[in-house]
């Protein structure tokens, strides 16, 4: 059974870089049918998709509103993938979820497995 687990600092200072890692267990990250990505949810609000990357690193998609500050990377040797979000502000305070993004066909992309989430607070 596939499991995803987020890890990283729960507190980040304004203007600094938020860095999170997702460890995948119960399956390989090196599968051509999947992308690996991140979604966030500010307290009491809805879901915001951040981006996803293929394990090969050759293809990725980012939310246009975050694209200039986001980078996702994949480490197949550790079965992990990571998120970096630069120049954070209080508006980036949220629960961050890692997830597996499945592609059934060219017009059907969805997150079929999620981590439990990690709360990251941006504050000095």
Partner 1 sequence: QSVLTQPPSVSGAPGQRVTISCSGSSSNIGAGYDVHWYQQLPGTAPKLLIYGNTNRPSGVPDRFSGSKSGTSASLAISGLQAEDEADYFCQSCDSSLSALFGTGTKVTVL
Q: Which residues bind partner 1 (CB under 8 A)?
A: 39, 46-49, 51-52, 61-64, 97, 101-102, 104, 107-117
Between 18 and 39, CB nearer to partner 1: 39
CB 7 → partner 1: shortest distance, Å? Answer: 15
CB 49 → partner 1: shortest distance, Å? Answer: 4
Contact 66, 85 (CB under 8 A): yes
Between 86 and 109, CB nearer to partner 1: 109
CB 11 → partner 1: shortest distance, Å? Answer: 21
Between 26 and 109, CB nearer to partner 1: 109
CB 23 → partner 1: shortest distance, Å? Answer: 15
Which contacts (CB < 8 Å, 24+ apart) does range 32-36 have? 33/102, 33/103, 34/100, 34/101, 34/102, 34/103, 35/59, 35/60, 35/61, 35/100, 35/101, 35/103, 35/109, 36/72, 36/74, 36/81, 36/98, 36/99, 36/100, 36/101
């Amino acid at each position: 059974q596939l499991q995803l687990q987020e890890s990283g600092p729960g507190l980040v200072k304004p203007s600094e870089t938020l860095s999170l890692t997702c460890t995948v267990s119960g399956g390989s990250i090196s599968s051509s049918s999947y992308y690996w990505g991140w979604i966030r949810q500010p307290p009491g609000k809805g879901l915001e998709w951040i981006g996803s990357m293929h394990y090969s690193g050759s293809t990725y998609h980012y939310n246009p509103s975050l694209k200039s500050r986001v980078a996702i990377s994949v480490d197949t040797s550790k079965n992990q993938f990571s998120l970096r979000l630069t120049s954070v502000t209080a508006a980036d305070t949220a629960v961050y979820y890692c997830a597996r993004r499945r592609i059934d066909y060219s017009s059907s992309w969805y997150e079929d497995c999620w981590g439990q989430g990690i709360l990251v607070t941006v504050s000095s």
